[in-house]
Amino acid sequence: MCPADTGEGAGNTEYGRKAFKRSRSHFADRITADGRDGWPVEAGRYRLVVSRACPWASRALVSRRLLGLESALSLAVADPIQDDRSWRFTLDPGDRDPVLGIRFLHEAYDKRETNYPGGVSVPAIVDVPSGELVTNDYQQITLDLATEWSALHRPGAPDLYPEALRDEIDEVAEGVYRDVNNGVYRAGFATGQEEYDKAYADVFRRLDLLSERLRDRRYLVGDTLTEADIRLFTTLVRFDAVYHGHFKCNRNKLAEDPVLWAYVRDLYQTPGFGDTVDFDHIKRHYYVVHTGINPTSIVPVGPDLSGWLTPHHREQLGGRPFGDGTPPPPVPAGEEVPAGHRP
């Protein structure tokens, strides 16, 4: 499951009568430069397991690309459709991850702790030599990739969490998380009208505030890309495809907000963002797995994706996407999103 799919009232297929509450990451060890939790940063030692469907895992995908960590931190992509045994490696030959040698992500969780409480969530970082899960703390993973992994960043990598702007980034990201990242889930998994109405109001109140903030500035904090933009992007890129209809966040489509639509297209067209997005995986996961919301499991054909590549004109606001750095190189061979899954 994605982290936000594992809270009270949410499950793999059915949703209870409690209000949606996101589960906390159970495994919160950190991989650091000094190895203080027992997990030192080391090129080639760890494997990042993601689903391209999951917005929380997608944060790590974007960060890894922008920072150029592909050769240092290998990637496993799970099938967008889990079953009762958790995320499956059915996209790989023999239905096994070729590095970890496992069929299901729960095997790495079980190596770390048998019968642990909670679901099997992505993103997850696994220690390759032992096969054990290290962390599923999606909030911390990207911050550590930006800071603790700096010795392994590519030349020209952007500073996604600049020290001078951290307080502002954290403040903006907290509002985005509470009302947008998690807000769409609160609306989608609501089991009562009042609960849904509150979540719906929070989502669009925050989107209106963000639209106003971004009206005359290219990025959320400062004049370069930061962690704050990554955290907002992964929800916005899914908004019209799944949250507008599937989660009933339907006051308006993102494409009907000129500012936010231009902003998210600007990010999508920036190397490191759109080249990690798989719209096929996104739609099939939400509409097939959430049978408590969509019992027929019918996946809608739309929306039309061609608009993602249209001019956004946000460059007129200035800003330097990568600061004093450079764009990431092309996506490594074998990690490309299939042509039929993108505009």
* Cβ 225 vs Cβ 263: under 8 Å: no
Tokens representing 337 are: 């999103």
Strands of the sheet with 132-135, listed across from one edge: 74-77, 46-50, 124-127, 132-135
Handedness of CA 157, 54, 343, 246 (dihedral sign): negative
Q: Is 123 helix (H, G, I), strand (E, B) or coil?
A: coil
- Does 308 count as an annotated binding residue? no
Give CA–CA dist 252/324, Å, rounded. 37
Give CA–CA dist 203/149, Å, rounded. 33
The one catalytic residue among 2, 15, 54, 249: 54
Residues making up the chain, counted from first to last: 343
Give CA–CA dist 40/31, Å, rounded. 6
- The answer to whether 54 is a known catalytic residue is yes
Q: What angle do CA 202, 207, 212 make, to 5 degrees?
A: 130
Q: What is the DSSP string of 228-275?
A: HHHHHHHHHHHIIIIITTTT---SS-GGGSHHHHHHHHHHHTSTTTGG
Close Cβ partners of 133 (under 8 Å, ≥ 6 residues apart): 27, 108, 109, 111, 112, 124, 125, 126, 127
Close Cβ partners of 173 (under 8 Å, ≥ 6 residues apart): 227, 228, 231
The one catalytic residue among 46, 109, 161, 185: 185
Q: What angle do CA 13, 3, 173 make, to 5 degrees?
A: 135
- The answer to whether 185 is a known catalytic residue is yes
Query: How many other C-beta atoms are found inside a 10 Å radius of the C-beta of residue 129?
Result: 8
Give CA–CA dist 280/236, Å, rounded. 16
Binding residue positions for glutathione: 87
Residues tagged active-site = 54, 185
